[in-house]
Amino acid sequence: MSEYRGYNGDSLKFLKVNQITVGDSVKILSDITYSGIIMPRYEHSDDKHIVLKLKSGYNIGLEIEKIEKVEKTEGLQKIIEKDEKVEKTEGLQKILLLSTGGTIASKIDYRTGAVTPVLTAEELNSSVPELAKIANIDAEVLFSEYSENIMPEHWLKIAEKINEYSKSDYSGIIIAHGTDTMHYTSSFLSFALAGFPIPIVLVGSQRSSDRASSDAALNLIGATKFIIENNTKGVYIVMHQDENDDTIACHLGTRVRKNHTSKRGAFQTIGDNPAFIITENQIQKNISKDFFQVNEFNPKINLDTKVALIKYHPGYDPKLLNQIIDNGYRGIIFEGTGLGHIGKIMYESVKKANEKGIFLGMTSQCIDGRIGMTVYESGRDLLDLGIIPLENMIPEVALVKAMWAIGNSQNTEEVKKIMLQNIASELTN
């Protein structure tokens, strides 16, 4: 039953004896007094603990043998959501907010304990009243997916929707997106919509909007301020700079990745400072004015997903690479060791791929630095086998760019030319 979800044995008996269920607000006397909401547990958890969500937003486990007293303060209350319309202010600039789901567009269902993508774009807008003082925001839901479920077909839908507003009177477009794959989406938009006349800003949160520690509101406010106060174009990711609430970082969409699983400052620009730093009083610019190579907008919203990202490691079986080749893949991005190496056990398969006209690109597993395949003999051997060094391109970005390049090209030589062309600062000095 859902009111006892995940509880069994002694813990289930404890809940029933004390006449409490998942979603009830309780006060518990143990080593100290705790107040919070009873949360569900994973189905295979032990039966010696209950889980309590504190007012701070964090969950704790309490051992039932050490609980002296339980007092139910109130039962589960259903909150009726109001579809509030935000009043527009004459004279403020306009921003379009597109919601795709993720934690920033989610809240906790205290009956099930799940973080669910149920907030509408309008709710997301109205839940942060500060936004209405900065800009007039129109909100629209494209879809509602956790970021691990965002696929290349979703990238196409996002790009096509944004392209509809290339001649609009919006000052910028904000995309609410889950964080796990946000840098993949920002990479595709950076290539497909290179030269777009207004800024495109992806924003997410590490913690859902109903948690006291949520970063959703501040990230949204930072993204909105950036669009209004900074006259620039391009694709960006805007997230917390660190665990403090004083600074929001604005990263180029092709030079960023998520480097921590849960910290609010999880996103970092690779190899440099964030493009912009946003504080309450100012926006600090850290990059030159010519950081985008494409100024004329000519959308190319196509891709081909037959591209593989291979992380080489000792013991990698080249039969796996052969399967990729035989399955008709048109591009392979290697995430090699150090300066761009893979073991000689791979050479025959690499030669086979090159002879079939498959694009072969090399990136590094190292977080920072540049490919250098002429330093060692092994690297030079790989160059002779047709692998193209991709400088300091981030592996995930190289994967997305190859999908996009192949989807917009006629042959491998054209793909090679595009992959080495610096389009959206994916390659830096």
**pLDDT tens for each residue of 254-265:** 999 999 998 989
Our answer to whether residue 261 is catalytic in this structure is no
If one compares 275 and 104, the residue with the highest pLDDT of the two is 275
With beta carbons less than 8 A apart as the criterion, state whether 124 and 139 touch: yes
The amino acid occupying position 239 is M
- Active-site hit among 21, 100, 103, 224: 103
- Active-site hit among 24, 180, 215, 304: 180
Q: What is the pLDDT of residue 225?
A: 95
- Active-site hit among 53, 225, 258, 401: 258
CB-based contacts of 157-162 (< 8 A; 24+ apart in sequence): 158/98, 158/100, 158/185, 158/189, 159/188, 159/189, 159/192, 159/193, 159/299, 159/301, 160/301, 161/98, 162/98, 162/189, 162/193, 162/196, 162/200
Low-confidence winner among 61-70, 138-147, 368-377, 385-394 (lowest mean pLDDT) = 138-147
Q: What is the pLDDT of residue 163?
A: 98
Instruction: Report the alpha-carbon angle 71-77-81, nearest 5.
Output: 155
Contacts for 364 with CB less than 8 Å, ≥ 6 apart: 335, 336, 337, 338, 339, 340, 370, 371, 395
Contacts for 320 with CB less than 8 Å, ≥ 6 apart: 310
- Active-site hit among 21, 100, 179, 363: 179
Our answer to whether residue 258 is catalytic in this structure is yes
Our answer to whether residue 53 is catalytic in this structure is no
If one compares 398 and 245, the residue with the highest pLDDT of the two is 398
Distance (Å, rounded) from C-alpha 268 to C-alpha 250?
9
- Fold match between domain 94-285 and domain 307-419: yes
Would you state the structure tokens that stand for residue 281, as one six-digit string? 């009083």
Structural domain 307-419, CATH architecture: 3-Layer(aba) Sandwich (3.40)
Q: Which of 126, 131, 21, 146 is nearest to 81 (CA)?
A: 126
171: pLDDT strictly greater than 80: yes
Domain assignments of the chain as residue spans, ordered by start: 2-74, 94-285, 307-419
The amino acid occupying position 273 is N
Handedness of CA 365, 366, 371, 377 (dihedral sign): negative
Looking at the domain that runs over 94-285, which CATH code has it been given?
A: 3.40.50.1170
If one compares 2 and 39, the residue with the highest pLDDT of the two is 39
pLDDT classification of 121: cutoffs 50, 70, 90 = low
197: pLDDT strictly greater than 60: yes
Our answer to whether residue 363 is catalytic in this structure is no
Domain 2-74 class?
mainly beta
